[in-house]
Structure 1
Amino acid sequence: MLKRAAVALMLAAGLAFAGSAAAKETKVGFVYVGPIGDHGWSYQHNQGRLAVEKELGVKTSYVESVSEGADAERVIRQLASSGHDLIFTTSFGYMNPTVKVAKQFPNVKFEHSTGYKRADNVTTYSARFYEGRAIIGAMAGKMTKSNVVGYIGSFPIPEVIRGIDAFTIALRKVNPEATVKVVWVNSWFDPGKESDAAKTLIDQGCDIISQHTDSPAPLQVAEQRGVYGFGQASDMIKFAPKAQLTAIVDNWDPYYIERTKAVMDGTWKSEDTWDGLSTGMVKMAPFGDAVPEDVRKMAEEIKQSIIDGSFHPFQGPIKNQKGEIVVKEGEVLSDKELLGLSWYVEGVEGSIPK
């Protein structure tokens, strides 16, 4: 009880500290957009933080549920001014606050997830989640009976649009009749909105639900309504043992350990990292019991072809919503084009919110 009370007091102050005294000279901080109990995005980043503690014995701290904007800037500055040597800011909307604070603390190293602005003491990193979307899109194409599949979007930024497009391209390669309906919730983590979005999509005829939001709420709705879905960021099978077909798992552990080591040994430098299935930064959870053997085999083949480089989720021919060829056969969208993706491919219904 005393231990729980102590932790509660630290959380109330805005910071939770953990770690051993083995490496007091290195202090690492993390800023999360959601609660560490979201079982999705922030949960997985926190697993990476725990891996750093376990592997390196360094002292770490975190602040959870930090809004993007002024709150983020305040929290990042607080960490930078309180002796942290390395700070990971783990949401797209933290980009400008991170860069702003970094200018004021040139001796502190900053790592921003999913952004594109760098400086001498600011590096960027992300994962090629779209590779996993291609796998689950193909699975959905094989398993849908209604040919209508739902997708819950957070914010209409390139990262999320890229995932919707990769999912839809793969879906229609195996099932040209299938279409994707998208509901935007304008939040990374809001179980109520995510649940309502899932219900709306199912009411519109969707028999498979995918998501780029962070709670297991959509999967729980799928379980209740007798349809299928995919976990987001972590393996969510315990929330939907019958509904989850697989999950795209974000594996930050090796990256966080490597980058912390670089600060400790003085080799850290500003760079950009964008890894995927081939390095293990993106993983796929085990298949659910409902996945037929032929679908498992197909999914594994797609995964291996992405890993060995013989297949790219955005290789042509690719059509836009108007049916126009935008990526010719034999061509592949460049990383620069993928990072700025702002249009739907053929098969996605509706328009992108402005």
Structure 2
Amino acid sequence: MLRRTLLATAAAAAMATTAFGAEHAEKTKVGFIYVGPIGDGGWTYEHNKGRLAVEEEFGDAVETVYQESVPEGADAERAITQMALSGADLIFTTSFGYMDPTIAVAEKFPDVKFEHATGYKRADNVSTYSARFYEGRAIQGHIAGKMTETNKIGYIASFPIPEVIRGINSAYLHAKKVNPDVEFSIVWAYTWFDPAKEADAARALIENGADVILQHTDSTAPQAAAQEAGGIITFGQASDMSEFAPLPRVSSIIDDWAPYYIARTRAVMDGTWESTDTWDGIGPGMVGIGEISDAVPEDVKAEALAMKDAIASGEYHPFTGPINKQDGSVWLAEGEVADDGTLLGMDFYVEGLTGEIPN
């Protein structure tokens, strides 16, 4: 009798171990490499919200891991490699400078799926994805052009890559359209996330007369600097940054990565994942426009929301001619719409912007 009991106990233990092993083996491991801290209040904060949405969607069927504040370059390749070695099935690398490291690691791990944000290099196991941030910049430019009193708008730019240049051009075109006297001053911060440097850039622009500050950097430091100065208008970048509403932050561009992350994780889980390139905007919901605060006049708010709807429906494209390049040469004729190829490789300013794009 004792022998039977021991055998039964052993069999039950073996079955439990087997069940645990099967459950563990079936769990999909999804990794995220972040360029900033998850508490940056902007870019990385929104990517991490997407990670949390994956956990909520799939529960115990997934395990997510992340590494934050990973510098672009050699450090990124080491971090991505370590994540692949840890057993990740899918890895999202969430900054432009991770492009070459992602491709390099993907070659060594052909069975791991990789997703790179904002880049353009793909492979059989590497997809690319980004959002049409320039659509949101058009709306910000409209509001900025209408609300500036000094006619001086400051722009804190990160790195001189097409994504950032597109945003500057889009904001400027739409500010200029409603206010021919507007001038843009651009400060290149050469960082995605450095609160001290971002705050210094904002202060310098304000001291030079800018009463509107736009940013393509990831922290809320420019918002805080503007709040301290008083009488300055800002816009949230990548995240709502609504803690600074109704002033200085009057609206924002919000990056919503959650649906994409859920869809791509599901594709790995059900075996349908393929290398793709995704570039979505306001229409599909990857780019959101944060609530426009009461600090914005009602007529300007109505115009901004109408533009949002027109962009979302495809009725209006922010880069519609006539538009000249900075040197005065024709880029787009009357009614002509920019093609995605040119936008993805944009390396020029439009007419009216001053200064040169750094190398």
TM-score class, shorter-chain normalisation, is over 0.9
Kindly name which structure, 1 or 2, has the bigger radius of gyration based on alpha carbons.
2
Alignment of 1:52-63 (within 5 A): 52-57=54-59, 58-63=62-67
Contact kept, 8 Å, 1:24 with 1:59, in 2: the verdict is no
Specify the alignment match of 2:5 in structure 1.
Answer: none
Specify the alignment match of 1:167 in structure 2.
Answer: 171
1:47 aligns with 2:73: no
Cα deviation for residue 99 of structure 1 reads: 0.5
Alignment of 1:52-201 (within 5 A): 52-57=54-59, 58-201=62-205
Greater shift after overlay, 42-51 or 312-321?
312-321
Cα deviation for residue 86 of structure 1 reads: 0.2
1:340 aligns with 2:342: no
Contact kept, 8 Å, 1:233 with 1:249, in 2: the verdict is yes
SS of the aligned residue for 1:329 comes to coil
SS of the aligned residue for 2:301 comes to helix
Unaligned runs of 5+ in 2: 1-22
SS of the aligned residue for 1:345 comes to coil
Contact kept, 8 Å, 1:223 with 1:240, in 2: the verdict is no
1:292 aligns with 2:275: no
- Residue 248 of structure 1 aligns with an amino acid whose one-letter code is I
- Render the CA deviation track for 1:95-135: whole Å, top value 9, x for unaligned: 00100110111100000000001111000000000000000
Contact kept, 8 Å, 1:36 with 1:64, in 2: the verdict is yes
1:33 aligns with 2:35: yes
Contact kept, 8 Å, 1:178 with 1:347, in 2: the verdict is no
- Render the CA deviation track for 1:161-219: whole Å, top value 9, x for unaligned: 01000101111111111111100110000000100000111111111000000000111
Cα deviation for residue 241 of structure 1 reads: 4.1
Specify the alignment match of 1:279 in structure 2.
Answer: 284
- Render the CA deviation track for 1:304-324: whole Å, top value 9, x for unaligned: 110111110111011222333
| Cα distance in 2 between the residues matched to 1:298 and 1:132 | 14
| Cα distance in 2 between the residues matched to 1:233 and 1:24 | 34
Specify the alignment match of 1:260 in structure 2.
Answer: 265
- Render the CA deviation track for 1:69-108: whole Å, top value 9, x for unaligned: 1000000000111110000000000000100110111100
- Residue 301 of structure 1 aligns with an amino acid whose one-letter code is A
Specify the alignment match of 1:15 in structure 2.
Answer: none
1:307 aligns with 2:309: no
- Give the share of equivalent positions with the same residue, in percent: 62
Contact kept, 8 Å, 1:69 with 1:97, in 2: the verdict is yes
- Render the CA deviation track for 1:294-347: whole Å, top value 9, x for unaligned: 111000110011011111011101122233322111211110000000111123
Unaligned runs of 5+ in 1: 1-20
| TM-score, length basis structure 2 | 0.91
- Render the CA deviation track for 1:126-153: whole Å, top value 9, x for unaligned: 0000000000001101111111100000
SS of the aligned residue for 2:116 comes to strand
SS of the aligned residue for 2:314 comes to coil
Residue-pair matches, total: 334
Cα deviation for residue 221 of structure 1 reads: 1.0
| Cα distance in 1 between the residues matched to 2:196 and 2:246 | 21
Give the helix-richer structure, 1 or 2: 2
Contact kept, 8 Å, 2:245 with 2:293, in 1: the verdict is no
Contact kept, 8 Å, 1:145 with 1:207, in 2: the verdict is yes
SS of the aligned residue for 2:38 comes to coil
Alignment of 1:192-231 (within 5 A): 192-226=196-230, 227-231=232-236
Cα deviation for residue 247 of structure 1 reads: 0.5
- Residue 268 of structure 2 aligns with an amino acid whose one-letter code is V
Q: Structure 1 residue runs of 4+, over 3 Å off? A: 21-24
Question: CA distance change for structure 1 residues 22 and 231 in 2, over 3 Å: closer, same or farther?
Answer: farther
Specify the alignment match of 2:252 in structure 1.
Answer: 247
Greater shift after overlay, 249-258 or 22-31?
22-31
- Render the CA deviation track for 1:238-284: whole Å, top value 9, x for unaligned: 14542001000000000000000000000000000000000000001
Contact kept, 8 Å, 2:152 with 2:185, in 1: the verdict is yes
Cα deviation for residue 22 of structure 1 reads: 8.5
| Cα distance in 2 between the residues matched to 1:154 and 1:161 | 10
Cα deviation for residue 23 of structure 1 reads: 8.5
Specify the alignment match of 1:9 in structure 2.
Answer: none
Greater shift after overlay, 311-320 or 239-248?
239-248
